[in-house]
Structure 1
Amino acid sequence: MKFLCLGYLDMKAFDDAPEAEKGEILKTCFDQCIPFRATGRVVEEEGLQNVSLAKSIRPRNGSPFVTDGPFLETKEQLGSFFIVEADSIEEAVRVASLHPAALFGEKYGFGIEVRPIQ
């Protein structure tokens, strides 16, 4: 089975962090990804560009209506995604728990949501 894992963060808190701190966070993320990737269960993994570059599309009067920004206005924004191949959601959660967003960055709202793909 495949599972979509969504990585969230508080983009404003991260953007407001001092540059040196952001550099440390990114280095830690890179280092923490080594055991995560070594599981052999990660099919795809990508970070997303800043939410300010997002476009949302909704139906309006039978036509697509495009707006700037994310679909939902929330404190935590989608910052990355990865796909895990696993035999169960429990195994997918174990793999996702090795991702940096599950290990540190509480003050930046880091977190991961794991969802089965149909």
Structure 2
Amino acid sequence: MKYLGLAYYDPEKFAAMSPVDVQALVSQCPPMDEKMRATGKVLVSASLAEPKHWITLRPRDGRPLISDGPYTEAKEVVGGLFIIEAGSRDEAMRLAAMHPAASLGEAGGWGIELIPMASFLG
């Protein structure tokens, strides 16, 4: 089964971190990401731009209404995503636990949401 992992962070908490702490945190991510990809179970992995660069399209009168910013207002926002292939829920959790947002970045409000995918076109 495929799972979508959404890596969240809290922009206010992240902004409150010192530049030195941010650099120390972020420098730990590439080796952890590589270890996760080395499992051969990661189908997609990406970091996302800041929400101020997002665009939202909503249906209005049969046409898309386009606006700047994220779709929803939330304390936490998605900062990255990954799609993994796992043989079981337990394996999916073990793989997701390898992502930096699952074990680092508590000061920045990091966390992972792991969602089973009903379908996947790839």
Q: Give secondary structure in 2 for the equivalent of 1:31.
A: helix
Q: 1:85 maps to which residue?
A: 85
CA contact (8 A) 2:17 2:108 kept: no
Which amino acid letter does the alignment assign opposite residue 84 of structure 2?
V
Equivalent residue number for residue 14 of structure 2: 14
**Contact preservation (8 Å) 1:3, 1:89:** no
Q: Which residue of 1 aligns with 2:41?
A: 41
- Please list every run of 5 or more consecutive structure 1 residues that lacks an aligned counterpart in the other structure: none
Q: Which residue of 2 aligns with 1:110?
A: 110
* Structure 1 length-normalised TM: 0.91
Comparing 107-116 with 8-17, greater Cα deviation is found at: 8-17
For 1:94, give the aligned amino acid.
R
Unaligned runs of 5+ in 2: none
| Cα drift, residue 115 of structure 1 | 1.1
Distance 2:31 2:64 in 1: 42
Runs of 4+ in 1 over 3 A off after TM superposition: none
CA distance in 1 between partners of 2:49 and 2:20 (Å): 20
- Cα distance in 1 for residues equivalent to 2:35 and 2:108: 22
Q: Which residue of 1 aligns with 2:24?
A: 24
Aligned Cα root-mean-square deviation (Å): 1.4
Render the CA deviation track for 1:40-66: whole Å, top value 9, x for unaligned. Answer: 211111000111100111112222111
- What is the TM-score of this pair, normalised by structure 2? 0.88
Higher mean alpha-carbon deviation, 80-89 vs 10-19, is at: 10-19
- Judge which range, 106-115 or 11-20, deviates more: 11-20
* Aligned-residue identity in percent: 39
Secondary structure in structure 2 of the residue aligned to 1:92: helix
Q: Deviations over 1:9-49 (max 9, x none)?
A: 01232233222211111111123223322222111110001
Written as runs of structure 1 = structure 2, the 5 A alignment for 1:53-92 is 53-92=53-92
**Cα distance between partner residues in 1 of 2:97 and 2:53:** 28
